[in-house]
Structure formats: C-alpha cells, structure tokens
Amino acid sequence: MIELREDMQIRAMESNDVNVIFHAIEHQDISKRLDYIARCWEENKTGQRVTLVAFYKGQFAGWLHLLSQSYYPYFQQNNIPEINNFDVIPALRRKGIGNALMDGIEQIAFEKYGIVGIGVGLYPSYGSAQRIYARRGYIPDGRGISYENVIVKPGSMVRVDDELVLYMVKEAPNSSSENSK
C-alpha cells in the first residue's frame, strides 16, 4: 500500500474491491458494469493490467489502470503501456486524489517501461483531464487524433464521442527511453 496522507490511501486493487467499486460508483456519472470491474480484477491477476484504487477517509474515491498492452497500434508497436479508465468520484474531486493515482501509476510504468502513454477525449467533458495531463508533462504523440484507435485522415468525417482521442506520451524524468520515436 502507498500511504500518502492520513486521509488518503492508494493501493493495488484486491479481489474484494470488485463489489466495493461497483457499489461506490453505481449511481455516479462514472458507473461501470459489474462484469467490467470483475474483468479488470482478472486482468490484474494475469498482469495484463495494473489497477490502483484510492480511498479517501476510508471510502472508495477512485481508480486508475495501466494496460501493459494498449489497443492503440502505435503504443503496441513501441511497447508503450497505456494509462486507461481514470475515474474519481465527482464529490471527491479537487482533493489531490487524481494526482495521487497518477503519481502511483506513472511510477509503476516508468520503473518497467521508462515511458507511458494516455489517450484523452476531445469534447468538454474531458477538459479537466486534458488540463491535468498537460500540467503533468504529457505531450501529443505527433500522430494527430484517432477514432476507434485509427488515425483520422484530413478531410474525413468522424463522430465526436468517447472514441475520438488524442494520444499523448510522457517519458520518465531523466530518461531517454528507447521506446520514444
């Protein structure tokens, strides 16, 4: 467990977290299906995913995932793990929980890979995420925007939804990762 402050704890997901997470986010605008949460736990056991969970004053506050194999082709080809599905309970935002989760997951990624990638949506609901990633030093991967993990060609029409993404990367501090191109 990563102990950050007396009122906050960040740790790796455990099996009993599946139901805790489901019930904590069930009626939030970040709700997820129980089978998805259970699949995340299974992928943690196989090493396909690392999930960190945050608790604030003893209550589930958020989670963040690191996929060892991204679905985005450029990250796959260059062995860049992807930060994925970043959720903080809306009433608990702006308490440092999101940055604490990011600190933890970046540390894991940097130790193993020296680099990490992330995708962010392009409409206003993603505004806070766009800002936090920029403040944390993420830069666009230089390939433009993607829709359903395919680079959008100039002049094409795409739907503006959760699948329209700008992918970004961040290298470990004082690192010249051989993964970056």
pLDDT for position 86: 87
Secondary structure (3-state) at 181: coil
Q: What is the pLDDT of residue 175?
A: 62
CA–CA separation, 116 vs 178, rounded Å? Answer: 12
Express each pLDDT in 3-51 by its tens digit. 556 789 999 999 999 999 998 888 777 778 889 999 999 999 999 999 9
Residue holding tokens 């230089």?
142
pLDDT the model gives residue 181? 46
Range with the lowest mean pLDDT among 89-93, 96-100, 167-171?
89-93
What global pTM score does this model have?
0.87
Pairing, β 115-121 against β 82-88: parallel
pLDDT of 1 > 80? The answer is no
169-178 b/e with 16+ CB inside 10 Å = b?
bbbbeeeebe
The model's pLDDT over 115-164, given as tens digits with 9 standing for 90+, comes to 999 999 999 989 988 999 999 999 999 999 999 999 999 999 999 999 99
C-alpha–C-alpha distance, residues 33 and 49, integer Å: 18
Inform me whether the pLDDT recorded for 177 exceeds 50. no
Residue 2 scores a pLDDT above 70: no
CB 129 within 8 A of CB 86: yes
Q: What is the DSSP letter of 14?
A: -
